[in-house]
Amino acid sequence: MASRRVDYEPNRRLVLRRLRALVADIGARGGVLPGEAQLAAQLGASRPTIRDALSHLEAQGMILRRKGADTLVNTAATDLAARIDLEVDFAEILKDAGFAAAVELLDAGAGHLDEREADLLAAERGATAIRTVKRWSADGQVVMVAIDLVPAADRPVSVDYTQPIFDIARAITNEDIAWEVACPGAVAATGPIAAWLDLPEGKPVWTLERVGLGRTGRRSFLATEYHLPSGIRYGFVRPFHARTRR
């Protein structure tokens, strides 16, 4: 899927979060979203910042703006606690959903790709890769663990392992992420996965395997996420474009 990641300044992130909460509240009440001027006054932000945030929410399928008409709120989208189709760090998704989010770095270092990892990353088996293991919590409850791999040259790499996978990949490859391909699945949690998620052996979890590609088509990272199927309602929004019949 095409990346929609946007780097917002802290104040713009706050405005976006407040606007998203307002949209969810208005959608739940069946109301109408105010105009830009009223939103700017209500949220204490400039109209360009509000306009930018509205464009961001429209790209996410939260609202639909129509010239000369009221802005529609996608009430089904506001019901989703966590969106898996958004190219942002998972902690930001949890925060936007109203949770107190925390992320822990459980392990990090250099290693070598096995046959399957190398195949997914279009790399040589045994090639050097940076590997991190992180765990996310929502309101103190563990909800997800991710094992991330970024191919790296056989040389020392200085990188902040606590950063999101997009930033780690960019630091190593010197290339922005242009696309991401994601494949969902399910497994029985065993070994370290079960331990990291505080689960008994064999408990089912759903997975999301994500491959990021740079603008040159280079495969920049492989992220394997293990999600607890409880407490948080996950989903994605797919815009529907009208098609002309022939």
* Per-residue pLDDT, 198: 94
- CA–CA distance, 59 with 77 (Å, rounded to integer): 12
5 confidence band (pLDDT: 50, 70, 90):
very low
Whole-number average pLDDT of the chain: 85
- Alpha-carbon separation of residue 131 from 157, 222, 244 (angstroms): 12, 10, 47
- CA–CA distance, 229 with 18 (Å, rounded to integer): 27
Ordered alpha helix ranges (H), 60-104: 75-78, 90-96
Helix (H, G, I), strand (E, B) or coil at 42: helix
Write the burial class of residue 168 (CB in 10 Å: 0-12 exposed, 13-18 middle, 19+ buried). Answer: buried
What's the rounded mean pLDDT across residues 42-55?
89
The position carrying tokens 């307002």 is 22
237 pLDDT more than 90: no
- CA–CA distance, 151 with 219 (Å, rounded to integer): 8
Top CATH class, 98-231: alpha beta
Which DSSP helix (H) or strand (E) runs through 50?
Answer: helix 47-59
- CA–CA distance, 176 with 215 (Å, rounded to integer): 7
Q: What is the pLDDT of residues 205-226, one digit of tens each?
A: 999 999 999 988 999 999 999 9
For the chain, give every domain's residue range: 10-80, 98-231
Of 112, 99, 180, 110, give the one whose Cα is nearest residue 139: 99
CATH classification of 10-80 is 1.10.10.10, yes or no?
Answer: yes
Q: What is the pLDDT of residues 79-90, one digit of tens each?
A: 776 677 766 778
Q: What percent of the chain clears pLDDT 90, i.e. is strictly above it?
A: 41
Helix (H, G, I), strand (E, B) or coil at 214: strand
Helix (H, G, I), strand (E, B) or coil at 165: helix
245 pLDDT more than 50: no
